[in-house]
């Protein structure tokens, strides 16, 4: 059998920037596009070479020094299979002044990928073709460091505050309270606004109507003071059972002072809302909200419960699929409670006046069977009850002793002067803080996404060209199949297995050889 004529073609290239470790390779849409690219970059070629075997060595009529800059080749065994195979040049050996030997290794991606099919498999990471804010929310296994505040918002209540008195009597008429409905429930207490406080930059300014009302009760209606349950401050904007105000917090389109390339950084946990009451806080995810202008703003209904112990709720609306999500609401308590002083002796005299007027009669008589027997024959008997005979002197002594004891009781402080620290600063209000990582962590995370895309964690067909310049893909359990219109041995089993391993390890496909490894190049998602 005659040996075939040496008719293989070999072409050599330098500065092909893909690597033998398959961290970086080139993307081509078709075999023709691949051929056209490499045809432009041939630096040396040899025709009529002997048959070239995979992963072997080949001798060429060039000096070793001449080819020292070459790092890549392709060959075509025209007599057997009219297609190009691509390979990495590993070493160039000197044979003699006119001959060198090249050691090479087949590039399975460039040689076989276009002749294979990769069905749907598990995708670990990928550069996505859609990167609008909120479109990619799969959890990332990456440290975000500590949060800093990107922007701040305050709930819209204040600076006007109602001074609310809860009492067993009507503060206007001093008649017993007839009760009322508060938040749909019956209450025996009267709830009345007795004044207003306006907070200025210099502090709190009290309107006199509240002060005068408390003073009038203490000085002129001492018998009523014990009926005051509490005097508290309530946001005036939320007064009334049906009064609801909304508070919208918008997601910023950009971090303040930072340039971010990957919009996943504008989603939780890298970007989130923290609402605090001053005592505790709650985290919110903008992407769980369906209100706003498409940027995922979060809107709260602000509602007061109108109870003696005042509280205000911030209820997210259209959040996590609920029109009013009470399970995610934030509740602010600890509103200022006012303190007032009552004259204990005056209260005693008012409450015991009926008994004390008897002291003059008791001075000259006895209490017999519940009646006061006057010392004179014209005196009237005053019923007391008790059925006992008591010495008049003893009774008077006891009463006088009680009066003396009451006169020595200092004024009583009612209520508690609490919750004033934030209030006097004008900060007794819900605060919404948009949080993000520190600047250095933002850059670290952004660079990571730029290099390796986003976590995908779903089964789909691997995409190797989602971005204009480079696309990273990493799979798990990738299985490569020969194309249905495959040429004879165009993609053998060993090559298919190797390609699967490369995809599982992770590989970046670059559109332009000149930009391989240049992550500063623009890389927008394809339209």
Give CA–CA dist 517/8, Å, rounded: 33
- Do you find a cis peptide bond into 166, omega within 30 degrees of 0? no
Q: What percentage of residues in the chain have a pLDDT greater than 70?
A: 75
Q: CB count, 10 Å around CB of 146?
A: 8
pLDDT of residue 340: 66
Nearest to 304 by CA among 335, 341, 345, 273: 335
Q: Give 213 or 147, the one with higher predicted confidence.
A: 147
Strands 24-26 and 507-510: parallel
Ramachandran assignment for 370, one of left (phi > 0), alpha (psi -120 to 50 degrees), beta (any other) = left
Q: What is the pLDDT of residues 419-452, one digit of tens each?
A: 556 666 667 889 999 999 999 999 999 999 999 9
Mean pLDDT of 244-268: 87
Nearest to 111 by CA among 13, 1, 28: 28
Domain ranges of the chain: 8-128+453-515, 144-343+413-437, 346-407
Does pLDDT of 241 surpass 80?
no
pLDDT of residue 198: 77
Q: What is the pLDDT of residues 38-51, one digit of tens each?
A: 999 999 998 877 76
Give CA–CA dist 194/214, Å, rounded: 9
Q: What is the pLDDT of residues 199-220, one digit of tens each?
A: 765 555 555 567 777 777 777 7
Q: Give 218 or 88, the one with higher predicted confidence.
A: 88
Mean pLDDT of 378-390: 42
pLDDT of residue 212: 76
Beta bridge partners of 205: 198
Q: What percentage of residues in the chain have a pLDDT greater than 90?
A: 46
Q: Give 218 or 58, the one with higher predicted confidence.
A: 58
Helix axes 344-351, 392-407, angle to 10 degrees: 150
What is residue 295's three-state secondary structure?
coil
Does pLDDT of 16 surpass 80?
yes
Does pLDDT of 414 surpass 70?
no
Mean pLDDT of 226-238: 82
Does pLDDT of 397 surpass 60?
no
pLDDT of residue 487: 54
Does pLDDT of 408 surpass 50?
no
pLDDT of residue 484: 65
pLDDT of residue 388: 41
Does pLDDT of 390 surpass 60?
no
pLDDT of residue 400: 45
* pTM score: 0.76
Cβ partners under 8 Å of residue 215, min gap 6? none
pLDDT of residue 178: 75
Cβ partners under 8 Å of residue 270, min gap 6? 144, 264, 436, 437, 442, 445
Own/partner contacts of 450-453, CB < 8 Å, gap of 24 or more, are: 450/261, 450/262, 450/519, 450/523, 451/508, 451/519, 452/125, 452/506, 453/125, 453/126, 453/127, 453/128
Give CA–CA dist 331/311, Å, rounded: 7
Cβ partners under 8 Å of residue 387, min gap 6? 369, 370
Give CA–CA dist 158/76, Å, rounded: 81
Mean pLDDT of 499-506: 98
Does pLDDT of 395 surpass 60?
no
Question: Per residue, what are the HEC states of 127-190?
Answer: CCCCCCCCCCCCCCCCCCCCEEEEEEEECCCCCEEEEEEEECECCCCCCECCCEEECCEEECCE
Q: What is the pLDDT of residues 114-139, one digit of tens each?
A: 999 999 999 999 999 999 888 899 99
pLDDT of residue 269: 94
* Helix, strand, coil percent content, the chain, rounded in steps of 5: 20, 35, 45
Token couple for 159: 């600076």
Backbone angles phi, psi at 286, to 5 degrees: -55, -35
pLDDT of residue 105: 95
Beta bridge partners of 245: 302
The segment with the largest mean pLDDT, out of 175-184, 252-261, 335-344, is 252-261
Q: What is the pLDDT of residues 369-380, one digit of tens each?
A: 334 434 444 444
Q: What is the pLDDT of residues 330-353, one digit of tens each?
A: 998 877 777 766 555 444 444 443
Does pLDDT of 329 surpass 70?
yes
């Amino acid at each position: 059998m005659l040996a075939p004529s040496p008719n293989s073609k070999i072409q050599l290239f330098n500065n092909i920037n893909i690597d033998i470790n398959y961290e970086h390779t080139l993307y081509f849409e078709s075999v023709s596009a691949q051929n056209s690219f490499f045809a432009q970059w041939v630096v040396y070629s040899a025709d009529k070479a002997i048959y070239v075997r995979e992963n072997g060595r080949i001798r060429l009529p060039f000096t070793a020094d001449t080819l020292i800059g070459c790092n890549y080749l392709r060959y075509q065994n025209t007599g057997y299979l009219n297609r190009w195979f691509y390979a990495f040049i590993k070493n160039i050996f000197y044979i003699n002044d006119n001959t060198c030997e090249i050691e090479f290794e087949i590039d399975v991606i460039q040689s076989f990928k276009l002749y294979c099919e990769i069905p749907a498999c598990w995708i670990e990471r990928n550069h996505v073709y859609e990167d609008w804010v909120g479109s990619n929310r799969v959890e990332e296994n990456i440290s975000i460091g500590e949060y800093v505040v990107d922007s701040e918002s305050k709930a819209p209540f204040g600076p006007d505050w109602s001074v609310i008195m809860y009492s067993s009597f009507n503060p206007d008429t001093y008649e017993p309270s007839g009760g009322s409905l508060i938040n749909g429930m019956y209450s025996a207490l009267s709830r009345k606004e007795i004044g207003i406080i306006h907070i200025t930059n210099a502090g709190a300014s009290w309107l006199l109507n509240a002060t005068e009302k408390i003073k009038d009760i203490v000085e002129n209606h001492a018998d009523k003071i014990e009926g005051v349950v509490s005097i508290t401050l309530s946001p005036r904007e939320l007064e009334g059972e049906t009064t609801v105000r909304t508070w919208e917090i918008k997601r910023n389109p950009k971090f303040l002072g930072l340039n971010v390339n990957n919009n996943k950084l504008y989603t939780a946990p890298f970007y989130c809302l923290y609402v605090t009451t001053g005592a505790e806080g709650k985290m919110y995810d903008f992407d769980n909200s369906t209100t706003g202008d498409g940027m995922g703003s979060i809107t709260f209904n602000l509602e007061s419960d109108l109870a003696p112990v005042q509280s205000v709720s911030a209820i997210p609306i259209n959040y996590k699929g609920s029109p009013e999500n009470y399970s995610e609401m934030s509740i602010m308590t600890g509103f200022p409670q006012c303190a007032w002083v009552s004259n204990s002796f005056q209260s005693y005299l008012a409450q015991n006046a009926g008994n004390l007027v008897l002291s003059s009669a008791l001075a000259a008589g006895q209490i017999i069977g519940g009646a006061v027997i006057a010392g004179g024959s014209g005196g009237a008997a005053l019923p007391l009850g008790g059925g006992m005979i008591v010495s008049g002197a003893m009774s008077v002594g006891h009463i006088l002793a009680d009066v003396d004891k009451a006169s020595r009781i200092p004024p009583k402080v009612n209520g508690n002067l609490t919750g004033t620290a934030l209030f006097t600063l004008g900060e007794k209000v819900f605060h919404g803080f948009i949080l993000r990582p520190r600047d250095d962590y933002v850059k670290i995370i952004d660079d990571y996404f730029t290099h390796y895309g986003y976590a995908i964690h779903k089964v789909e067909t691997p995409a190797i060209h989602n971005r204009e310049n480079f696309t990273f893909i990493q799979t798990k359990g990738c299985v490569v199949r020969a194309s249905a219109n495959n040429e004879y041995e165009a993609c053998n089993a060993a090559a298919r297995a190797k390609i699967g391993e490369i995809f599982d390890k992770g590989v970046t496909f670059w559109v332009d050889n000149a930009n391989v490894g240049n992550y500063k190049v623009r890389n927008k998602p394809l339209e």
